[in-house]
Every structure is written in C-alpha cells, then in structure tokens.
Structure 1
Amino acid sequence: MGIVIIWLNGTHGAGKTTTSRLLQPLVPRSRIFDAEKVGEVLMDIEPALPETGNFQHWPPWRPLVAETARRVLDYVGGTLIIPMTVLTEQYWQEITADLQRHEITVHHFVLHADETTLRRRIDDDADMGPSTFRHDHVRPYVAAAHSWLHEQATVIDTTAKPAAAVAREIAERLPQPGSAEA
C-alpha cells in the first residue's frame, strides 16, 4: 500500500476512537496516531497561545499534524490510522496538501451517524460522560457533511452498525497490496 494514512473523520460519538482500535489489527504494519495530542502540546505552551476555543484554529496545529505523521511514517513505515475530527474544509485541505507534497496517500473515511444517535452516544459515553463541548460539535458536523465533508471522503454509516463491522468494512475498502490503487 505504500506510505499511507487512514483518516477516520466524523464528529464526537461517531465511533472514531473505538473503530481505530479495532481497525489497527486488521491493517498490517499500522499504528494509531492521536493528532489531538499535538493540540495538547500547543495548549501547554506558557504563556498560553491566543484563545480560540479549539486548538485546530491555531495555525501551527495543521502543519504540525502533517509533519508529525510524515516523520513517524519515515521512521517506522507502514500505515498510520488517525482518528480525528476535522470539520473546517480549509484545515482539511492544508493537512492533506502537506501530506501529498510528501507522497503520502490519505484514505479519508467519515464515520457518520444521525444526529439523534450522536447525541445519545455522547450522553451515554461511559469514559467521558456527557459533554457540552462534544454536543456543540454536532451541528457543525451536520453543516460540514452537507457542504463538503461527505463529498471528499468515503462515508460509512455507523448509526446501526457495531464498531467491529465498521472496522472490517474500512479494511475491506482499502486497496490490496499489488492492486493498481495500492
């Protein structure tokens, strides 16, 4: 498959983290890269960077995610699975343009669920509990889905599908080694 990133997009509650953990054993030589950690590094800068309400709005975040992914792939090869919500088209374009400059193939999947299901999952999350921040991202997700996101990705409806089935579906949709797409 070459140098590859499998990007799992979608809003909170869609199943990105769970799916990434189930997908990783299905994709040979793959690792999970939590791009949110790059945001956490930026949040730890003292004195703090200007307040934005979301670390993705800081201009350094996008190139740092791309550069970190590239450097990890240069070091260990294989495939990176990145479970990360990106709802701003400009940010997505910046990240993917940086990756394409380094000939990194990005397989972009959006894990989709209807709004009622998303809100129920957020409220029922045993690890994080109900979250205003996560609820606040449902409407922007719906707007992005209708304006650009679903056009630029393979959409997998997770509304009634268990995460293990979603992971298998993604693995099956990836180009196989030796194929023209790989």
Structure 2
Amino acid sequence: MIVWLNGAFGAGKTTAACELVDLLPGSTLYDPELLGTGLRVMLPKERVAQVDDFQELPAWRRLVADTAVALLTEVPGPLIAPMTLLRQEYRDEIFGALASRRVPVCHFLLHAEETILRDRIAQRAAVDGGSTRDWCLGHLPAYQAALPWITADAHTVDTTGLSPRRTAERVAEVVREGAGAVDIVQTPEPTAETVAAGVLLFDEEDRVLLVDPTYKPGWEFPGGVVEQGEPPARAGMREVAEEVGLELADVPRLLVIDWEPPRAAGFGGLRLLFDGGLLESARADELLLPGAELRDWRFASESEAAGLLPPERFRRLRWALRARERGTTLNLEAGAPVGI
C-alpha cells in the first residue's frame, strides 16, 4: 500500500511523512522527488530544458509506479509518499499504474488556508535560505485551482493549527480505519499485443461521446480490450454496456482498424473503432458511469476532441470520422491510412 500525502508545495508534507513513518509499523518513506533529481542528471540537457517541472517527464511518472512496486518487494509497506500532484491526468496515470499492479493507494490532502501556507513557506525559507520560497509561492495559484478535483478524490486533513505530529496521527487514524483508499479500477497491464474495440456514439449535433477514465490520462471512447475468443464488434458492445450502461440493439459497423506499433512503454496491437450511431438525448440522460473506472462523459466536436484525446487516439478518431462520412472502412498503421 502507498499512503500518498498531497498538498501545496512547502506545506509540510515531508515533515508529516517522517512522523507518520513512526506511527505505521513497517512503513518506509518514499520520496518520488528523488526520481526527478536522478532524471535531471541522467537525461540529456536538451531534454531537461524542454520542461519546467520534472513531473512533466513521462519517464518520471512511470518510474514513480515502477519504483514503488520494486520497493514493496524489499519492505513490508506501506510506503509514505509526500508528493504534490496538481494535475489530475498525472494522478490518473500514476494511481492507475499502481492499481494495475494491485498496489492500493490511500490519497490524503494536507490542507491549510493560503495565509497559513504562506507562513509555513516563509518559515521553511528561513531554514533553507529561501532557495525554494519563490517556487512554492509561485505554485499556490495552481494549488488553489486544483483543489476541486483533489478534495473530491482525497481524504482531506485540515492541518490548520496542527503540528506535524498531530497531522500524522490524524492520517494514521484514518489509515487504520481503512478509509482514504482510492476507488480505482484494477486494469492489468498488458503482457503482449492486444486487440481493443472502441465504439463511437453521436448526438444530434454529430458530436462524439467521450469518457474520462480514472486510471489513465486523457479522454477515451467507450470500449476496451477484446477477450480471448470474443468477436471484436461484440466486445465493443459489451464494453459500452459495462461502461455507460447502454445496450446497443445492432452490431456496429467497422470504421477503422489501426495497427499501433510496440514502443518502450507498451506492446501495441490492433485498435478498432466502430460506428455505434445516434445516441438520442433521452438515452444520453440514462448514461451510468462506474465510479472506479470513469469519472465523466461529454459529447465533443472534432476540434474539441483534439484538446481532450491523446494524439494517437485523436488521429484514429479523425480518420474514423472521414470513414463515416465516406461510408467506408479505413486501414491504418500508427494512425495513418495505408492502401488508399
């Protein structure tokens, strides 16, 4: 298990984490910031210069989960991770990767009002010579902007007036009670190439239905991995029923088949998109989302989808829309049509 202590930069998470180690038997302090420091040393300077924060590096987000799993083969756990996470898509990527390895996450927000945070940052600056003061203060607006999603996801501990020890005691009490656990689907990571089927559903304005997974970054189409011996179109229908609670009456028509090449972080495989047709507004109102898997849905135009979908998914959608307009099926390789 990982006890993740979230909060503003300079809010005292590490101090509370050190106290928490004394309160939870078998626990170990796990500082993901050390991974960022290591990447800054190992990566080419040109790559490091491209980001303002090491959290922007996909390698860091992957290493956070991989290193946690490796540590839990050496120590009984839990791991105590004092780390600010302000971008929900990073939360999804890291917590989803941990869930896929069957590592439970207890997510806590150590919160205090801004005046208190500023005082704590000033006290820390008096100790470290002010080396981090501007960084911490500069990220307070981002912290305030992130509070709606963090408070919805994490168990909040109001640290106003609490010492680090008392804060740790509050967290330990919640952990012992079994609360604070993140409800997130445990989707196993693939071990070989996969076949996945997605279904495009459209509203009266010809916008496409997108869903927001809790276990990976970016939006997605309803769908999932085709099970062994399962027809792909039927797999897409099954996933639509499981994910949004809709039973499709007819087998959808294939729009694109896309070969996704293997890369360092994945095995790739075949990705199919089917045309699920019109979803009338009355039926859209009946959509039901499994909270552990999907947090939201929306209809999006092609231009809106460009800002929501990861690039490879948007390329697939773009060609699927062209295939739908032409009444044909397109064969893609890495998101580009071939054989036409």
Q: Fold conserved (TM > 0.5)?
A: yes
What is the aligned length?
175
Task: Map 1:91-170 to 2 at 5 A.
Answer: 91-125=90-124, 126-130=126-130, 131-146=133-148, 148-170=149-171
Deviations 1:52-97 (A, max 9, x none): 1100001111010110001100222221000000100000110000
The question of whether the paired residues in 1 share the 8 Å contact of 2:11 and 2:121 is answered with no
Q: TM-score, normalised by structure 1?
A: 0.90
Contact 1:22 1:167 in 2 (8 A): yes
Question: How far apart, in 2, do the equivalents of 1:8 and 1:155 lie?
Answer: 10
Q: Counterpart of 1:138 in structure 2: which amino acid?
A: L
Q: Which has the higher strand share?
A: 2
Q: Distance in 2 between matches of 1:112 and 1:129?
A: 24
| Counterparts of residues 45-64 of structure 1 (less than 5 Å) | 45-48=42-45, 49-50=47-48, 51-64=50-63
Alpha-carbon distance in structure 1 between the residues aligned to 2:43 and 2:95: 29
Distance 2:106 2:98 in 1: 12
2:11 counterpart of 1:10: no
- Conserved? CA contact 1:15–1:158, under 8 Å: no
- For structure 1, which segment, 34-43 or 121-130, has the greater mean C-alpha deviation from structure 2 after superposition? 121-130
Which structure 1 residue ranges, 5 or more long, are not aligned? Answer: none
Secondary structure at the residue paired with 1:85?
coil
Matched residue type, 2:53: N
Q: Which amino acid aligns with 2:54?
A: F
- 8 Å Cα contact 2:24/2:172 also seen in 1: yes
Q: Say whether residues 1:27 and 2:28 are aligned partners.
A: no
String of CA shifts for 1:90-116, please: whole Å, max 9, x gaps. Answer: 001100000000111100001001111
Q: CA deviation at 1:176?
A: 5.3
Q: State the Cα distance separating 1:45 from its structure 2 match.
A: 2.2
Q: Structure 1's 46 and 23: CA in aligned 2 closer, same or farther, altered over 3 A?
A: closer
Cα distance in structure 1, aligned partners of 2:21 and 2:27: 6
**Identity over aligned pairs, percent:** 40
4+ long deviations beyond 6 Å: none
Equivalent position SS for 1:95: helix
TM-score, length basis structure 2: 0.49
Which shifted more, 38-47 or 107-116?
38-47
Question: SS at the partner of 1:74?
Answer: coil
User: What is the root-mean-square deviation in Å for CA atoms of aligned residues?
Assistant: 1.7
Q: Residues 12 and 120 of structure 2 are in contact (CA less than 8 Å); yes or no, is this contact kept in structure 1?
A: no
Residues 31 and 82, structure 2, Cα contact 8 Å, conserved in 1:
yes
C-alpha displacement of 1:44: 0.6
Q: Does the residue aligned with 1:109 lie in a helix, a strand or coil?
A: strand
Select the structure of larger CA radius of gyration: 2
Measure, in 2, the Cα distance between the counterparts of 1:69 and 1:56: 16
In structure 2, C-alpha distance between the alignment counterparts of 1:40 and 1:24, rounded to whole Å = 23
Distance 1:46 1:39, change over 3 A: closer
User: Aligned partners of 1:62 and 1:151: how far apart in 2?
Assistant: 22
